[in-house]
């Protein structure tokens, strides 16, 4: 392929919104389909990667892909109504078109996880990328040992994908999959209470042979790192996703630069997934 024919890293694809499903007061799930059949056939992503969603005349926002990487031609985004662009996305009706660039970022190294138990720990919106990790493990069940997912939110009605996970529970138990959902600040919630660390005893995994994928606020990472290392989890297999303000999404603008002058990374290109050693050795990562 000549240089002129190489696709630009900024190439934007038209995608049609097929379905919109309200998950919580603030978040909805959006199902998109690529308009171009060629793109629909070839487009692939890894769990933990994100896309830039653009609305003409309004701007772009980075959003994690939350669906199964197995689905061809379709993908889902769980989007919080947070501001200018995301509120406009929430107003879209099925049939509307958006622009999609990506997938960008490194994603979770799923192949390194093969053969190990898997522990996913999500807080709040962190459940969006981790849903994709979890679905990957379900789609490739034979490649993993025992699986635990801990989904947490401040309030019970803020738990993302709560009904979906609840509905999987019976079959999950038979498949050595443990699903834990907990509200951290909701005395009225009828399910479990407390942070993820409080429920780690429900994780049916072997710390020495377990890969850990986490997504949530930095405060959660600090607490979880201490807990996991103390319990004997292998730091080489502990991964988290980091969120930073982004513009280009491809390592060109410097907007998402983190670290110091001698040791730095671009969250969009080197991340958003980082391992335990990167997180603990680069100042400012969390
Ligand atoms: C790699 C990555 C993955 C993401 N995945 C998701 C996802 O799956 N679902 C989802 O709903 N959101 C996700 N976000 C956050 C999302 O990109 C922001 O909420 C969005 O850019 C806000 O744009 P806006 O124009 O709607 O809001 P604005 O009007 O620009 O801002 C509204 C409010 O949100 C704050 N804000 C803006 N951008 C960010 C940001 N990156 N982090 C934290 N606060 C921000 C602003 O300070 C302001 O308070 C992700 C961000 C990154 C970097
Ligand atoms: S967003 Fe431009 S370098 Fe990361």
Minimal-distance CA residue to ligand 1 atom 17: 62
Q: Copy the structure tokens of residue 246.
A: 């982004």
149 closest CA partner among 112, 196, 193: 196
Q: Is 16 in the pocket of ligand 1 (CB under 6 A)?
A: no
Q: Which of 28, 58, 61 should be mutated for ligand 1, with most atoms under 8 A from CB?
A: 61
Q: Is 58 in the pocket of ligand 1 (CB under 6 A)?
A: no
In angstroms, the CA 42 to CA 6 distance is: 15
CA of 35 to the centre of ligand 2 (A): 27
Please report the pLDDT score of residue 112 as a whole number: 97
Q: Is 65 in the pocket of ligand 1 (CB under 6 A)?
A: no
Please report the pLDDT score of residue 222 as a whole number: 86
Say yes or no to pLDDT of 1 above 50: no
Minimal-distance CA residue to ligand 2 atom 3: 251
Q: With pLDDT > 90 as the criterion, what percentage of the chain qualifies?
A: 82
Check if the beta carbon of residue 12 is closer than 8 Å to that of residue 100. yes
Please report the pLDDT score of residue 235 as a whole number: 96
Using pLDDT thresholds of 50, 70 and 90, give the confidence band for residue 43.
very high
227 closest CA partner among 161, 284, 153, 150: 150
Ligand 2 residue neighbourhood (C-beta within 6 Å): 246-249, 251-256, 266, 268
Number of Cβ within a 10 Å radius of residue 75:
23
Helix, strand, coil fractions of the chain, as percent rounded to 5: 30, 30, 40
Please report the pLDDT score of residue 4 as a whole number: 57
Please report the pLDDT score of residue 233 as a whole number: 96
Q: Is 242 in the pocket of ligand 1 (CB under 6 A)?
A: no
3-103 domain in CATH 2.40.10.10? no
Residue 242 Cα distances to 33, 90, 177, angstroms:
27, 24, 26
Q: Which atom of ligand 1 is the closest one to the Cα of 59?
A: 25
pLDDT tens per residue, range 205-242: 999 999 999 999 988 898 899 999 999 999 999 999 99
Q: Is 50 in the pocket of ligand 1 (CB under 6 A)?
A: yes
Please report the pLDDT score of residue 3 as a whole number: 52
First-to-final CA distance of the chain: 41
Q: Which of 63, 132, 273 should be mutated for ligand 1, with most atoms under 8 A from CB?
A: 63
Q: With pLDDT > 70 as the criterion, what percentage of the chain qualifies?
A: 98
Q: Which atom of ligand 2 is the closest one to the Cα of 247?
A: 1
Residue ranges of the chain assigned to CATH 3.40.50.80: 110-241
Using pLDDT thresholds of 50, 70 and 90, give the confidence band for residue 99.
very high
Say yes or no to pLDDT of 253 above 50: yes
CA of 171 to the centre of ligand 1 (A): 35
In angstroms, the CA 245 to CA 40 distance is: 28
Minimal-distance CA residue to ligand 1 atom 14: 63
Q: What is the mean pLDDT of residues 186-192?
A: 93
Please report the pLDDT score of residue 5 as a whole number: 65
Residue ranges of the chain assigned to CATH 2.40.30.10: 3-103
- Rounded to the nearest integer, the mean pLDDT of the chain is 93
Q: What is the mean pLDDT of residues 92-103?
A: 97
pTM of structure: 0.95
pLDDT tens per residue, range 267-280: 999 999 999 998 88
Please report the pLDDT score of residue 259 as a whole number: 80
Please tell me which of 118-127, 192-201, 215-224 the model is most confident about, judged by mean pLDDT.
118-127
Say yes or no to pLDDT of 284 above 90: no
Q: What is the mean pLDDT of residues 158-170?
A: 94
Q: If DSSP codes are grouped into helix, strand and coil, which group holds residue 93?
A: coil
pLDDT tens per residue, range 44-84: 999 999 999 999 999 999 999 999 999 999 999 999 999 99
* H helices present in 51-184, as ranges: 84-91, 110-113, 127-139, 162-174
Task: Note the CATH architecture for domain 110-241.
Answer: 3-Layer(aba) Sandwich (3.40)
Say yes or no to pLDDT of 177 above 80: yes
In angstroms, the CA 49 to CA 7 distance is: 19
CA of 61 to the centre of ligand 1 (A): 7
Q: Copy the structure tokens of residue 6.
A: 């190489």
Q: Which atom of ligand 2 is the closest one to the Cα of 254?
A: 3
CA of 265 to the centre of ligand 1 (A): 20
In angstroms, the CA 42 to CA 21 distance is: 26
Say yes or no to pLDDT of 25 above 50: yes
């Amino acid at each position: 392929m000549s240089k002129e024919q190489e696709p630009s890293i900024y190439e934007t694809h038209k995608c049609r919104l097929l379905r919109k499903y309200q998950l919580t007061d603030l978040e909805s799930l959006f199902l998109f389909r690529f308009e171009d059949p060629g793109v629909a056939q070839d487009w692939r992503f890894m769990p933990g990667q994100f896309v830039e969603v653009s609305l003409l005349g309004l701007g772009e926002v980075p959003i994690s892909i939350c669906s199964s990487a197995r689905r061809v031609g379709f993908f889902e985004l769980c989007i919080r109504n947070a501001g200018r662009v995301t509120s406009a996305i929430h107003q879209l009706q099925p049939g509307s078109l958006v622009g999609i660039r990506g997938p960008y970022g490194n994603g979770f190294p799923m192949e390194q996880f093969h053969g190990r138990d898997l522990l996913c720990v999500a807080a709040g919106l962190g459940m969006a990328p981790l849903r994709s990790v979890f679905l990957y493990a379900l789609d490739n069940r034979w490649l993993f040992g025992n699986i635990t997912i801990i989904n947490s939110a401040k309030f019970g009605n803020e738990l993302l994908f709560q009904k979906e996970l609840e509905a999987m529970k019976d079959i999950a138990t038979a498949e050595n999959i443990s699903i834990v959902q907990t509200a951290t600040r909701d005395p009225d919630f009828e399910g479990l209470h407390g942070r993820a660390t409080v429920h780690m005893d429900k994780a049916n995994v072997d710390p020495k042979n377990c890969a850990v994928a986490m997504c949530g606020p930095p405060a959660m990472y600090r607490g979880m790192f201490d807990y996991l290392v103390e319990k004997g989890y292998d730091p080489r297999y502990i991964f988290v996703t980091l969120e930073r303000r982004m513009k280009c999404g491809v390592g060109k603008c410097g907007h998402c630069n983190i670290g110091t002058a001698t040791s730095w990374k671009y969250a969009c290109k080197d991340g958003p997934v980082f391992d335990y050693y990167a997180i603990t050795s680069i100042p400012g990562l969390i």
